[in-house]
Amino acid sequence: MGTASSGCSVGGDNADMSMMLNTPAVLLVGGMGTRLRSVLPSTPKPLASVGNKSFLELLVRQLRCQGIRRLVMCTGYLADRVESEFGDGSGWDIEIDYSKEPNPLGTAGAIRLAQHHLKHVSDFLVMNGDSFLEIDFRRLVRFHRGHKGLVSMAVVKVENANRYGTVQVDTENRVIGFMEKAGSDRPGLINGGVYILNRAILGYIPEAPASLEKDVFPRLLSQGVYALEQHGMFIDIGTPEDYARAQQLCDHLYEAALYQPQPDSEPPEFGDCNDDRER
């Protein structure tokens, strides 16, 4: 694989830069993508193409453009395909380590397995590998450190929350509960699939396969779980319908991935998402 230009130059003050350089990102990319088999019969879901790039490459570029230089990819299904695509990360001027599940461990179990890559950090970023959220990572890290909780999650308000379940948040931005899918079309705050976790959370993850969202976060509400609402685009590619929507929005996805949230800055302009100029 040839060198891939990052397509961005990272700005911000020295304190912000240091904060992001010292915050590793864990990407959960081991899911089997069962619901997408009809359109992606032999491709790992995070490697699904959006325009001429994989969905996961958009996430990598987004992280790189906001100053994060160290990634840990938690792989599972077709793990070798993911590692072959990204290698050690040098093509993007980043460092990538891999943690391969021997069997499905769930989102929490995958993080527990990867803990040897997180020995010397106090906090780390976690992202689902099948969803994209327009977000200022630095703002989320500052929010997390200001609230001093175990978990800070990005949440998004959607008009129809029935397929996601909702996050209940009080006036102090503290999460007070989670509601399962209600089966009715109504608005609500949903989990945006991006978190900052204090390393102490590893002590609350069971050795058995477990889900962050269902098994870990609900048990930690008294320890401090906070939510920061985001107002940008959110999309996941968990169903054929949403994957088709991602194709329609690929220009916006590319623009958002390379945008550096800074005062008085404008997003870069992009042409056709099938333009291969950045590759």
Quote the Cα angle for 94-99-104, to 5°.
140
Can you spell out the DSSP letters for 143-203?
HHHHHT-SEEEEEEEES--TTT-EEEE-TTSBEEEEE---SS---EEEEEEEEEEEGGGGG
Tell me if residue 119 is catalytic.
Answer: no
Query: Using an 8 Å Cβ cutoff, are 47 and 242 in contact?
Result: no
Q: Which of 45, 53, 119, 181 is catalytic?
A: 181
Count of Cβ atoms closer than 10 Å to residue 145 Cβ: 15
Q: Determine the length of the chain.
A: 279
**What whole-number distance in Å separates Cα of residue 252 and Cα of residue 181?**
28
CA separation (Å) from 174 to 128, 153, 180, 187?
Answer: 22, 10, 18, 19
What are the catalytic residues? 181
